[in-house]
């Protein structure tokens, strides 16, 4: 990943405000040119960085297991063979959990890192054959083209990889467009604020996460699990 110049800081919201209204008064669907993204400290497309992330992810946040199980329960409620798209699927932790408990799930794993896909294939072993691996960048305008429709779209610790929270509601609107009617979006990411992250440009607060899901056009939004700085939301198309 090219080294980006340091982000220019432009105050984006006042404390306590939960509307998605940014420095220039617009939402994420347009007119945001003057706000810089937050540079990433690592390039997860490099095998060394991808492997290092995978090796420490569970140690750093052992409570991720509880999140996997919650994803699992919510997906199992869709029936024996739900179609599932995971965004930012990484080294395949969630896919492994879901395919163990729902073996006939039709699982599509999207990530922009070929290195992460290779690690996921290694982790899944023979089960990898039933996963469709898509090399795609969810920051690009047309990442959704030719993906089809899904009963569930899931994502874990990846939405902040948009590198600025102002992009979230656009991503969520794109997610909605890929869901069948009544399909579900399970969105889990770090949140900013007490008990969470300090960077309020990169990460949304709990209230902003909910507001971005709503602005993205999703409904029946419920917080299903909040622990260790991560929040898992269920929303419906
Ligand atoms: C922090 S890791 C989380 C991996 C996995 N979801 C997990 O929790 O085990 C973030 C993942 O998002 C991927 N990613 C980052 N930016 C992306 C983008 N713009 N499009 C697609 N994938 C991206 C990275 O390659 C990485 O696999």
The domain that contains 70 carries what CATH number? 3.40.50.150
In-domain check, residue 24: no
Among 61, 42, 62, residue whose Cα is nearest residue 52: 42
Distance (Å) from CA 11 to ligand 1 centroid: 27
In-domain check, residue 11: no
What average pLDDT does the segment 116-139 reach? 98
Is residue 203 a contact partner of residue 189, using CB atoms and an 8 Å limit?
yes
pLDDT at 64 over 80: yes
Domain that holds residue 203: 47-236
From 7-11, 171-175, 176-180, the region with the lowest mean pLDDT: 7-11
Residues with CB under 6 A from ligand 1: 44, 57, 88-90, 93, 111-113, 116, 137-139, 156-158, 161
pLDDT in tens, 4-56: 333 333 333 333 334 444 443 344 444 445 789 999 999 999 999 999 999 99
In-domain check, residue 10: no
Pocket test for ligand 1, best of 70, 90, 155 (most atoms within 8 A of CB): 90
In-domain check, residue 3: no
What average pLDDT does the segment 77-96 reach? 98
In-domain check, residue 202: yes
pLDDT at 215 over 80: yes
Is residue 76 a contact partner of residue 102, using CB atoms and an 8 Å limit?
yes
Q: Count of domains in the chain?
A: 1
Q: Which two tokens stand for residue 9?
A: 């800081």
Residue 35: predicted pLDDT: 86
Residue 6: predicted pLDDT: 33
| pTM for the whole structure | 0.89
Pocket test for ligand 1, best of 70, 88, 94, 167 (most atoms within 8 A of CB): 88
Residue 77: predicted pLDDT: 98
Residue 33: predicted pLDDT: 56
Q: What angle do CA 18, 166, 182 make, to 5 degrees?
A: 75
Nearest residue by C-alpha to atom 10 in ligand 1: 158
In-domain check, residue 188: yes
In-domain check, residue 30: no
In-domain check, residue 14: no
């Amino acid at each position: 990943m090219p080294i980006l110049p340091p982000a220019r800081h432009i105050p984006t919201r006042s404390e306590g405000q939960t509307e998605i209204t940014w420095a220039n008064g617009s939402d994420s669907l347009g007119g945001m040119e003057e706000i810089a993204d937050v540079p990433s400290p690592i390039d997860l497309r490099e095998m060394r960085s991808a492997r290092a992330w995978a090796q420490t992810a569970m140690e750093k946040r052992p409570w991720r297991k509880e999140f996997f199980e919650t994803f699992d329960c919510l997906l199992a409620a869709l029936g024996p063979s739900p179609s599932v798209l995971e965004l930012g699927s990484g080294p395949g932790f969630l896919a492994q959990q879901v395919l163990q408990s729902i073996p006939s799930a039709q699982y599509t794993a999207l990530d922009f890192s070929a290195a992460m896909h290779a690690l996921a294939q290694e982790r899944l072993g023979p089960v990898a054959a039933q996963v469709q691996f898509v090399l795609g960048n969810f920051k690009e305008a047309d990442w959704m083209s030719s993906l089809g429709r899904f009963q569930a779209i899931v994502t874990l610790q990846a939405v902040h990889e948009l590198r600025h929270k102002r992009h979230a509601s656009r991503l969520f609107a794109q997610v909605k467009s890929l869901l069948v009617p009544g399909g579900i979006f399970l969105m889990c990411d770090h949140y900013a604020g007490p008990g969470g992250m300090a960077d309020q440009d990169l990460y949304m607060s709990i209230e902003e996460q909910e507001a971005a899901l709503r602005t993205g056009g999703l409904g029946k939004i419920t917080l299903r699990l909040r622990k260790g700085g991560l929040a898992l939301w269920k929303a419906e198309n």
